[in-house]
């Protein structure tokens, strides 16, 4: 490990990382390492477990930075920024997206928050976006998730309607598509749902 002043919790998480995750971070932290993680990530197998590992490390690093340890805060912040860049480039889980979005809002980094919002449509499934809405109470995050979900085809809401966790979310999206965006497809689906369930939309 190239850092000398990270606290015990960060060291514990670092020691638990898989070797390939450590190598990926170390490559990006080299003095002449790439500015963007994509070229490095192509050389490493990135999976859901790497998502989880980096998320846990980021949580520990942010805790050290928040503690304002003058000795190790700068090192922790540098490593945290590297974790964030990798997660921004790769993550596809609701939990990690919420972590990154909350972090950006706390830091008043609204440019980063907007870029995260762009990743939703590019990388996340309708189900994952619905899970973001379900898991967070922050209105800013819920708003961008709903805005993105409305851009999905109306038919993509059908699997969500069959899941009690997401049915209300899917209905809200269909109603918004039908009445605000005048989607004929969404209106037809709402009429079909009304006829099948015997209740007015």
3 domain-assigned = yes
- Domain span at residue 9 reads 1-90
102 domain-assigned = no
Q: Is the separation of the CB atoms in 103 and 62 below 8 Å?
A: yes
Q: Given its phi and psi angles, is residue 199 left (phi above 0), alpha (psi -120 to 50 degrees) or beta?
A: beta
Helices assigned H by DSSP within the chain: 8-15, 19-29, 38-41, 48-66, 73-90, 94-106, 110-123, 126-135, 139-149, 158-161, 167-179, 184-197
11 domain-assigned = yes
pTM value is 0.87
Q: For the chain, how many structural domains are there in total? A: 1
User: What is the pLDDT tens value at each position of the chain, 201 positions in all?
Assistant: 567 788 899 999 999 999 999 988 988 888 766 555 665 566 677 788 999 999 999 999 999 988 866 667 888 998 999 999 999 988 889 999 999 999 999 999 999 999 999 999 888 999 999 999 999 999 999 999 999 999 999 999 999 999 999 999 999 999 999 999 999 999 999 999 888 876 554
109 domain-assigned = no
């Amino acid at each position: 490990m190239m850092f000398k002043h990270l606290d015990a919790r960060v060291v514990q998480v670092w020691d638990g990382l898989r070797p390939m995750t450590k190598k990926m971070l170390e490559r990006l932290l080299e003095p002449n390492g790439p500015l963007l993680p994509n070229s490095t990530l192509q050389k490493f197998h990135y999976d859901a477990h790497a998502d989880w590992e980096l998320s846990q490390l980021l949580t520990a690093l942010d805790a050290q930075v928040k503690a304002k340890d003058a000795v190790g805060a700068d090192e922790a912040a540098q490593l945290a920024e590297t974790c964030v860049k990798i997660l921004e480039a790769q993550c596809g889980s609701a939990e990690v997206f919420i972590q990154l979005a909350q972090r950006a809002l706390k830091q008043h980094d609204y440019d980063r928050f907007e870029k995260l919002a762009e990743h939703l449509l590019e990388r996340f499934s309708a189900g994952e976006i619905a899970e973001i809405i379900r898991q967070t109470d922050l209105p800013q995050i819920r708003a961008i998730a709903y805005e993105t979900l409305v851009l999905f085809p109306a038919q993509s809401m059908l699997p969500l309607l069959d899941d009690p966790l997401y049915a209300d979310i899917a209905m809200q999206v269909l109603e918004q598509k039908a009445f605000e965006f005048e989607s004929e497809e969404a209106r037809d689906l709402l009429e079909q749902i009304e006829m099948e369930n015997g209740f007015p939309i």
